[in-house]
């Protein structure tokens, strides 16, 4: 068991998401940074789809009842166990009464706590993820509050103290530009209405940096910068959309759909962030900059294969392999 001692809004239980129900109007939900969640589950010996805690607002503090193996991945949030500093992207054992605390991150936006066996909440439509907008799944269909007590399934987990290098050190280095401080680069393919925007507007979309605005959330990242307007007014029927789609509403400020995105929309779609880079966007803090890099479908597929291979290599390796040991 683990008791929430301190939390802000929007912290919730998430797994890999609720797949196969968008035709019924049900959002996917799930972890915003799925690479971080999957890696954390690997570090504690879980199935990669096991539910963990997504921490979005800090500080966050939890007390454990009984022993378990846990990992903290995602944002570098200066995590501590009983006031002892822990390394990021690391796994370790906890005992009865131990307190884990996460401070506001020095980099990134979201942290993930995984525990051996996974957070034990009921399955709703084949997922333990919290659908915050509708209010079902996860822990009582809501965000976590102080005093909540979560169970986790008993599992042997792994032994030893070890961790991994953050995925930014391994993924996308061959195609993404060198990181600029405060700027997140994500790859995207052109959208169905791309050609309905004038050439100067299309160039501005790729060439300029966009600011993640404070009204961004799990439904969508709202970006501020150059206004994007089509060559002529567009009247579109509502159509299916998925996380990653970049819609352009009438005010010209693009919105990137994220994990809790609605299942349909009628705004023109100028581009779609590739699935392999959504974790990068999820870790872009409010107020930071985002740059889009145009790629084709082949590059999109190659990036997805790279993520799959990276996680498969971690899952197939022992802690004496590519992982750092303490």
Round to whole Å and give the CA distance between 59 and 267.
37
Q: What is the pLDDT of residues 259-303, one digit of tens each?
A: 999 999 999 999 999 999 999 999 999 999 999 999 999 999 999
Instruction: Find tokens 């872009």 and name the residue.
Output: 284
pLDDT the model gives residue 326 = 38
Q: Provide the token pair at 268.
A: 């023109």
Give which of 103, 130, 197, 143 is closest to 11, Cα–Cα. Answer: 143
Q: In degrees rounded to 5, what are phi and psi of residue 99?
A: -120, 125
Lowest-confidence segment of 6-20, 27-41, 52-66, 167-181 by average pLDDT: 167-181
Cβ partners under 8 Å of residue 247, min gap 6: 220, 241, 254, 255, 257, 265, 267, 268, 269, 270
Domains and CATH numbers, the chain: 2-162 (no CATH), 183-294 (2.40.100.10)
**Contacts with 20 (C-beta within 8 Å, 6 or more apart), sequence order:** 126
Q: What is the mean pLDDT of the chain?
A: 92
Nearest to 246 by CA among 193, 300, 175: 193
Neighbours of 178 (CB within 10 A): 6
Share of the chain above pLDDT 70, in %: 94
Q: What is the pLDDT of residue 159?
A: 65
pLDDT at residue number 241: 93
Tell me which of 200 and 177 has the higher pLDDT: 200
Q: Select from 121, 118, 165 the least CA-distant residue to 143.
A: 121
Which residue, chain included where needed, has tokens 């995984």? 114
């Amino acid at each position: 068991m683990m008791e929430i001692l301190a939390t802000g809004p929007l912290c919730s239980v998430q797994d890999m998401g609720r797949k196969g129900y968008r035709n019924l109007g049900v959002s996917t939900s799930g972890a915003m940074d799925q690479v971080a969640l999957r890696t954390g589950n690997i570090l504690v010996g879980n199935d990669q789809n096991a539910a963990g805690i997504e921490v979005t607002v800090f500080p966050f503090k939890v007390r454990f009842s009984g022993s378990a193996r846990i990992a903290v991945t995602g944002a570098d949030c200066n995590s501590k166990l009983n006031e002892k500093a822990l390394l990021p992207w690391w796994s370790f054992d906890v005992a009865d009464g131990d307190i884990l605390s996460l401070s506001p991150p020095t980099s990134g936006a979201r942290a993930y706590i995984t525990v051996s066996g996974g957070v034990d909440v009921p399955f709703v439509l084949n997922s333990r993820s919290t659908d915050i907008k509708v209010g079902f799944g996860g822990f009582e269909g809501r965000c976590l509050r102080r005093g909540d007590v979560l169970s986790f399934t008993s599992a042997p987990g792994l032994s030893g103290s070890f961790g991994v290098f953050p995925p930014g050190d391994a993924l996308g280095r061959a195609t993404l530009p060198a990181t600029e401080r405060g700027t997140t680069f994500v790859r995207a393919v052109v959208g169905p209405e791309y050609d309905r925007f004038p050439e100067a507007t299309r160039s501005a979309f790729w060439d300029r940096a966009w600011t993640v605005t404070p009204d961004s959330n799990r439904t969508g990242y709202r970006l501020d910068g150059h206004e994007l307007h089509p060559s002529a007014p567009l009247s579109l029927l509502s159509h299916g959309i998925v996380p990653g789609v970049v819609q352009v509403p009438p005010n010209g400020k693009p919105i990137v759909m994220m994990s809790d995105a609605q299942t349909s929309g009628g705004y023109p779609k100028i581009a779609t962030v590739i699935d392999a880079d959504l974790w990068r966007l999820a870790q872009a803090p409010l107020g930071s900059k985002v740059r889009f890099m145009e790629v084709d479908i082949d590059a999109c597929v190659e990036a997805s294969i790279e993520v799959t291979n990276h996680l498969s290599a971690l899952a197939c390796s022992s802690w004496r392999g590519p992982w750092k040991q303490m």
